[in-house]
Amino acid sequence: MVWTRRFLKHLGLQVMFVISYTHSLENLAFRRPTWQQYPWPYPEIDFGSDNAVDGMYTDRGGGGQCTINDNNQTTAMWRVDLGSIVSISHIDIYYRTDNFRRPSAYTSRMAGFFLELCEVEVYGCRIKAYFGQNCSRPCPINCQERRCDINTGHCLGCVPGYKGHRCEQVCDDMTYGLECALSCGNCSDGKTCHHVNGTCWSDCDTGVHGDRCQHECRFGHYGRNCMNTCSKSCIVTNKCNRMTGVCDGGCKPGWAGITCDQRNDRDCESCSAKVAIGVVVAVIIVLIGSIINVVILKRNHEQVTMKRNQKSNPAAKSKDVPDVSMKQYSEGEEQSKSDNYMYEELSRI
């Protein structure tokens, strides 16, 4: 009697263990929608595709609980829709045997051209983010979409910035992003960037700007973070090397230095002399023009006056004409001498 009790107790533990293990993973294919490429065409015998997921496979003979496809086909295909992406532990497939003990005894149709499925069971966890035999262990937090292998817990992929089987390691220095496949930009002093989004912890290096320090300076800017403006004293205004600020083509006259920000006194003296000479020449030209205008106006005025006098005193016309001509000749000669003198003075200058 004692032996019997011990045996029953042991048997009960074994049964409980088997039941617990069997129900720890769910048959995800049970009564899910199915599809078959070439269904059995004769309705008097039920060989529908859903027979393979109805949970029954005790009768694996003709007219039993299996699904088969049509005859005389060169391909065979059957599908089951699990409804979503799930973690699968294993798949059990039960073929048609016509209830023979030795499966090889069934040879009425050639394998490969026909499907003879009595049941397909897909065991796994329906709820994502869990793994293990009872689907109770949470997947690592850095797994992509919180999905992991149902048996080992290894992540199927990592979120950006992490790597490793369980995505517990951050990306190596100078790398970031999904699968740590991206390279950091030009952070200042060669420092690494944020392992997730690639932003630099400090400033950018010279010649670049942006959150990831991957964009070259815009026209007219240079230096760290592109904060400096190229000099207006560059030969080409505001055009310089984006890293050093050195002007392309050099500096404008009167300026020197790496960034053309220093006054050049020698060039300034030369520039001042040239400016002074230009001013003097301009003044002389203006004076000459003014003198010529005065002379012309004076001549025109005398001619007009003479004509008026002739009209008012016709008797004196013949007497006065020689005197006027001589006077004009004399004044013209004196004016010519004056112009020659002015020309000589200008030549000396």
Domain boundaries, the chain: 2-126, 266-313+322-348
- What is the band of 173 on the pLDDT scale with cuts at 50, 70, 90? very high
- Domain 2-126 class? mainly beta
Please enumerate in sequence order all residues whose Cβ is within 8 A of that of 163, keeping only pairs 6 or more positions apart, or say none: 169, 170, 171, 179, 180
Give the span between the Cα atoms of 242 and 327, in whole angstroms: 77
Give the span between the Cα atoms of 50 and 186, in whole angstroms: 60
Question: Is this structure's pTM higher than 0.85?
Answer: no
User: pLDDT tens across 304-346, in order?
Assistant: 777 777 766 655 444 444 444 444 445 555 555 555 544 454 4
pLDDT (0 to 100) of residue 268: 54
User: pLDDT tens across 187-203, in order?
Assistant: 988 889 999 999 998 88
User: pLDDT tens across 9-34, in order?
Assistant: 443 433 333 333 434 789 999 999 99
- What is the band of 124 on the pLDDT scale with cuts at 50, 70, 90? very high
